[in-house]
Amino acid sequence: MYDHVKGVRDFYPGEMRARRRVIDSLEDVARRYGFREIGTPTIESAELYIDKSGEEIVEELYSFEDKGGRRLALTPELTPTVARMVVAKQQELTKPIKWFSTRPFWRYEQVQQGRYREFYQLNADIFGSSAPEADAEVLAYAADALSELGLEKEDFEFRVSHRDILGGLLESIDTRIDTTEAIRAVDKREKVETAEYYDLLEAAGLDRDDAREFNAVLSAGDVEEVRAFADSDRVDEAVSNLEAVLAAADEFGAGEYLTLSLDTARGFDYYTGVVFECFDSTGEVSRSVFGGGRYDDLIESVGGQPTPAVGVAPGLAPLSLLLERAGVRPDESYETDCYVLRVGDSEEVRRVAARITRDLRAGGGVTETDVSGRSFGAQMSYADSIGAETVVIVGEQDLAEDVVTVKDMASGDQERVPVEDFPDDT
């Protein structure tokens, strides 16, 4: 017997039905926002990641050489791929470009609750607008998508910050600080021991006193205090931009889901502006559910014209944990409108049952019929197991009187209806 590979999952029909309801809902809201679906490859040149992403990601790649000697990788995230696609048609594409897609990604990492080596995300991105309204629209989309899934205001929050607030703060302390490393340290703050956090800050170039002061300002979470502490144009502009995004998101109806959180950093190095992460308000789901932000330099870094960009990427597995916690995970039942039950094997019974099955399917109903030559009892039991709402019994005796028997499986009621009227069009 073969098993699936570690860190990937098989989804049987019940679980898949629940997942499909989540995907349909996320995609339906994305379409309403005017995001257009794209289709993207599973494999990219490994260089796309090795050149541009942090070493952290490279270590986690599923990379290999193909039979033509190309160094390839299974895509660990969508952003470099969509950036490549924007660059390839930069002249033709009308801005803003608003794209979405739902698909799997792969990272070779520790398997844990809500985290797999093969994982599914919807990505929604806007390219070509640096205005706060674009950030706000992405935030509003994410909040709307979660509401559509049945989550309420008290279930989740988006913690919103701006990368230049952290960068500018650090720069104002000492220009020799390695800000990339320091921001990575902040990103890990809630995941590691305090001592390790301070060690990471020290490794990035902050001495112990600066690190404590820096941390105190972050923890206070007051933008005016930040402005005063940094006293720099860079931080002023970042705070103003963040405030404009929050105001626009409020107009779009997403204000109630947003919390200012200066230490939200996001793990990727390519973020340049507003960044945000979605958290379970109860804290029961302890890690970030998903996140997003602005990455204005990425398109240029993969060879394109400077093009501002902002996006979000809800992942299905962590999102399922949140939906489960909030008691709104879609159910796993799948629908069967009708089972057409054949009694005996006479030519007329076969012909009428097949005709009724065809008509029901043509009318859009989920309809099954016997494909195993089974007894009445076995068919009735199967119809029950697939949750059929109605069973249509086609038998010789009934047909001699030009009727079929229609049984409601919930009530058990049954009635005989003229065969030529079944199914009627209504």
- Bond from prior residue into 423 cis (ω within 30 degrees of 0): yes
Query: Shortest gap between Cβ of 340 and a copy of itself (angstroms)?
Result: 10
Query: Shortest gap between Cβ of 198 and a copy of itself (angstroms)?
Result: 31
Nearer to a copy of itself, 13 or 344 (CB): 13
Nearer to a copy of itself, 299 or 393 (CB): 299
How far is CA 71 from its chain centroid?
A: 28
Query: Shortest gap between Cβ of 426 and a copy of itself (angstroms)?
Result: 18
Angle of helix 163-173 relative to helix 223-230, nearest 10 degrees, comes to 40
Three-state secondary-structure class, residue 71: strand
Closest by CA position to 242, among listed 281, 287, 272, 278: 272
Nearer to a copy of itself, 45 or 232 (CB): 45
Nearer to a copy of itself, 194 or 372 (CB): 372
Residue 360 and residue 423 in contact, taking contact as beta carbons nearer than 8 Å: yes
Closest by CA position to 325, among listed 357, 280, 372: 280
Residue 416 and residue 405 in contact, taking contact as beta carbons nearer than 8 Å: yes
Annotate 328-394 with DSSP letters as a single string.
Answer: -PPP----EEEEEEE-S--HHHHHHHHHHHHHHHHTT--EEE-SS---HHHHHHHHHHTTEEEEEEE
Query: Shortest gap between Cβ of 57 and a copy of itself (angstroms)?
Result: 14
Nearer to a copy of itself, 136 or 186 (CB): 136
Query: Shortest gap between Cβ of 382 and a copy of itself (angstroms)?
Result: 6
Query: Shortest gap between Cβ of 94 and a copy of itself (angstroms)?
Result: 4
Query: Shortest gap between Cβ of 386 and a copy of itself (angstroms)?
Result: 7
Q: How far apart are the first and last CA of the chain?
A: 49
Query: Shortest gap between Cβ of 79 and a copy of itself (angstroms)?
Result: 13
Closest by CA position to 137, among listed 37, 33, 263, 207: 33
Nearer to a copy of itself, 66 or 154 (CB): 66
Nearer to a copy of itself, 372 or 426 (CB): 372
Spatial distance between the Cα atoms of 426 and 420, rounded to a whole number of angstroms: 14
DSSP strand E in 255-312: where?
258-260, 274-280, 290-294, 309-312
Nearer to a copy of itself, 221 or 382 (CB): 382
